[in-house]
Amino acid sequence: MDGRFILGAPGAWFILTVSEELQEIRNLEVIAFHSWPAREGVPLGDWIMRADAGVTRRANSVFPFGDPSLPLDEAIDYVVKFYRSRELIPRFQLTKASLPRGLDDALAKHGFAYEMKTLFHTCRIEDILKVSGGYKVEMSSEPDDEWFSSYSRISGHSAETLRVRKGIFERMPVEKRFASVRERGSVIGISIGVIYRGWLGIFGVRTDEEHMRKGVAKSINRALISWAEDKGAQEAYLQVEADNESAIQLYENLGFRQKFTYWYRQLIE
């Protein structure tokens, strides 16, 4: 499978008894799900088991969005077998809206450790457009060799990791942009913007170490958001690890605010 499948028409897939807050979390998680598509997306009832050579936790974790069609303990065992058959770490991506209820506690009892708390930030695009950017940002609909070379250098990813990520980029929705900033001919900052269901997702913001805290990331975010507005998007989101204080401060200064948190449960061998 190539990871392209639909979780239902907007607003029609979800049960009607959830609170407005949980509904919003689930809507946003569906958007992020489609914006970062793994190579494999195998259903287990209403869960999706994602796998993509172990590159990125999101693309190699269960997306638990309802009834797994098996008793919970059996479903967890099934997931463990699925990932071990691929020589991958069994892992779930969770929010307080994950289903079925009690899943997080059940995973803890099965030996899945809590890891990587991440903040999901959102903002109205019109608010970000009030922030000026000091660098010229180049954007293209597909990443060229120079963009990938810069991505490798700035992020430190291996050639194999880049190969897998390239597949993720190719499976992303059609409306996407690969952004970069140059100084004296050399790329010093990069990022990716993806539009799905009217939301802009900003991924992989990276700045060369020598140019951090100089406004590069702010300029990239501002440029991607301006492009998204031209495409009719009204909201933007991004995800940042909870311990990355400098990035959190940057995004809050831009106008982003925390909407919810998600985390992973990873099986301890």
Same-domain status, 256 and 127: yes
Same-domain status, 135 and 210: yes
Last residue of a domain, one of 76, 102, 118: 118
| Rg of the chain over all Cα atoms, to the nearest angstrom | 19
Q: Is residue 244 part of a domain?
A: yes
CATH code at position 156? 3.40.630.30
Lowest mean pLDDT among 8-17, 167-176, 224-233: 8-17
DSSP for 177-222 reads: EEEEEEETTEEEEEEEEEEETTEEEEEEEEE-GGGTTSSHHHHHHH
Q: What is the extent of the structural domain holding 167?
A: 123-260
Same-domain status, 135 and 239: yes
Give the amino acid at 62: V
Last residue of a domain, one of 58, 89, 118: 118
Same-domain status, 153 and 195: yes
Band of residue 215 on the pLDDT scale cut at 50, 70, 90: confident
Q: Is residue 196 part of a domain?
A: yes
Judged against a pLDDT cut of 70, whether residue 260 lies above it is answered with yes
pTM: 0.88
Q: In the chain, how many domains are there?
A: 2
Same-domain status, 102 and 180: no
Could you tell me which residues come within 8 angstroms of residue 221 by beta carbon, excluding any fewer than 6 positions away?
Answer: 128, 133, 191, 202, 205, 251, 254
Same-domain status, 56 and 35: yes
Q: Is residue 269 part of a domain?
A: no
Task: Report yes or no: 92 and 264 within 8 Å, Cβ to Cβ.
Answer: yes
57-94 pLDDT per residue, tens: 999 999 998 999 999 999 999 999 999 999 999 999 99
Same-domain status, 145 and 241: yes
Same-domain status, 98 and 147: no
| DSSP type of residue 266 | E
Q: Is residue 2 part of a domain?
A: no
pLDDT, mean over the chain: 89
Q: Is residue 86 part of a domain?
A: yes
Q: Is residue 6 part of a domain?
A: no
Same-domain status, 138 and 255: yes
Same-domain status, 143 and 255: yes
89-144 pLDDT per residue, tens: 999 999 999 999 999 999 999 999 999 999 999 999 988 776 666 889 999 999 98
Same-domain status, 129 and 256: yes
Mean pLDDT score, 205-228: 88
Token pair listed for 94: 């969770």
Last residue of a domain, one of 118, 139, 169: 118
Maximum separation of any 2 CA atoms in the chain, in Å: 60
